[in-house]
Amino acid sequence: MLKQNPGRQQSNYSFWLLNAAAYITWLGIVVAALPDLAGQPNRIVILVLFGLFFVGLSVYVFLEERPLLMHFYLLFQVAIALGISTLSPTDIVAHISTLFFILSAQAMLFLPLKPGIAWLVVFTIVTWLGGVFAFGAVEPLSIISVVGGYLFFGTFGAGLRQANEARQHSQQLLAELQEAHEQLQAYTSQAQQLAVAEERNRLAREMHDALGHHLTVAVVQLEGAQRLIPSNPERSASMIEAMRGQLKQALAELRQTVSALRSPEASVALNGSLATAVTHLVQTFHEATGLAVDLTMPEELPLLPEAHRLALYRAAQESLTNVQRHAKAQQAWLVIAADDDDITLSVSDDGQGLGDEVGDGRFGLIGLRERAKQLGGSLMLGAADEGGARIIMRLPVPVVEAADA
């Protein structure tokens, strides 16, 4: 019987057969020796030695993966066999080599190849010495046949060892595959959750950016028109008409955003180039709010993908909205600068500066930061030289084949 580890050897009948064969072989030798022991003065000692060998066979099952104890076990069994050979009559000595068949299989089963072969050599030497002691001389042919038996049983033990190692390796691979499968399922679930969260964030950004600026400007115009109705109804009507234009533009952008969100192939795009869109944004913002915006940008902008242009436009849109809502400023500056590596959009004002109400925690700024991060860029919020706040979006300039700057 071998030590059974869960899932390793319980179905390996070869191990059970090997141990059963060891006990049967031991029993056959003892039964064959009993007639020759009759009348021998040391028969009790010999039987005790046979019993100790049996005890060793029983202890052997606990020595798997304990090579040092396995060496002591083999040494103990060799000493027992040598003692039996020394004390027994010559008829019994001829059967003692059969005990080494058992030990050969066991040595090659539980020990690595080289130590196992070394023990086969030890068994051969002990067998030869026992034969010389009992018979005075040993025929080379008989030694060769015995060594052949040791090699045969040793090869059988080594084969069982390799089969067991292959089984363990297969079971380990199966366990790793099952674990990897479970991890893959968990990662798939997480990826689905992240995809849903990312889609929600994208929806929130587009809805906020499409409506926030226009609604803010419309509210300012509505408040102004309300104040001017008694004293200047014509100016009030003009402001209401401008507000109507803002709301129509907001509705158009909302429809475009919803269309893009419904279809993965569609995308939110600017009407015209980035320069045209920003110029129009500054103009309508000034007309609606009366706040002066100084626009500075190069005559030619680098070729940019639509996602980069939209992100920069949304940054300008959100920044001007924040200036109107929070800064209490009289003047704003919008600067676009570009080189071979980066394009930068900066919006600053001369208002009251940064406060608790305006910070990185505002949703619009969070959305801008997410846009910049997705494109490999950054968004910075700080104090302006003019005394107000400054928002800077910096994006790397990718290599594109063609785009409308």
Q: How far apart, in whole angstroms, are the C-alpha atoms of residue 389 and residue 381? A: 7
Residue 108, SS3 per DSSP? helix
Quick: pLDDT tens for 299-332.
Answer: 888 888 988 998 999 899 888 888 887 778 889 9
On whether both 25 and 160 belong to a single domain, the answer is: yes
Q: Give the percent of the chain with pLDDT over 70.
A: 75
Domain boundary among 143, 178, 213: 178
Q: Look at residue 368 and tell me if it is in a domain.
A: yes
Residue 369 has pLDDT above 70, yes or no: yes
Choose among 146, 50, 172, 164: nearest CA to 108: 164
Which residue is associated with the tokens 């042919």?
Answer: 141
Domain boundary among 163, 178, 193: 178
Q: Look at residue 337 and tell me if it is in a domain.
A: yes
323 contacts 291 by C-beta, under 8 angstroms: yes
Domain boundary among 149, 178, 207: 178
Residue 167 CA, distance from chain mean position: 26
The answer for residues whose C-beta is within 8 angstroms of residue 142's C-beta and 6 or more apart is 131
Q: How far apart, in whole angstroms, are the C-alpha atoms of residue 101 and residue 122? A: 12
387 or 255, greater pLDDT:
387
pLDDT for residue 104 = 85
Choose among 171, 170, 167: nearest CA to 14: 167
Which of the 8 DSSP states describes residue 326? I
pLDDT band at 348 (very low <50, low <70, confident <90, very high): very high
Quick: pLDDT tens for 179-223.
Answer: 988 888 888 778 777 766 766 666 666 666 666 667 777 777 777
pLDDT for residue 210 = 63
Q: Look at residue 205 and tell me if it is in a domain.
A: no
Residue 30 has pLDDT above 50, yes or no: yes
Q: How far apart, in whole angstroms, are the C-alpha atoms of residue 310 and residue 287? A: 23
Quick: pLDDT tens for 80-117.
Answer: 887 777 776 666 666 677 788 888 888 888 788 888 88
Q: Look at residue 288 and tell me if it is in a domain.
A: yes
Choose among 282, 308, 317, 310: nearest CA to 296: 282
306 contacts 267 by C-beta, under 8 angstroms: yes
Q: The domain containing residue 380 runs over which residues?
A: 270-405
Q: How far apart, in whole angstroms, are the C-alpha atoms of residue 316 and residue 322? A: 10
On whether both 282 and 168 belong to a single domain, the answer is: no
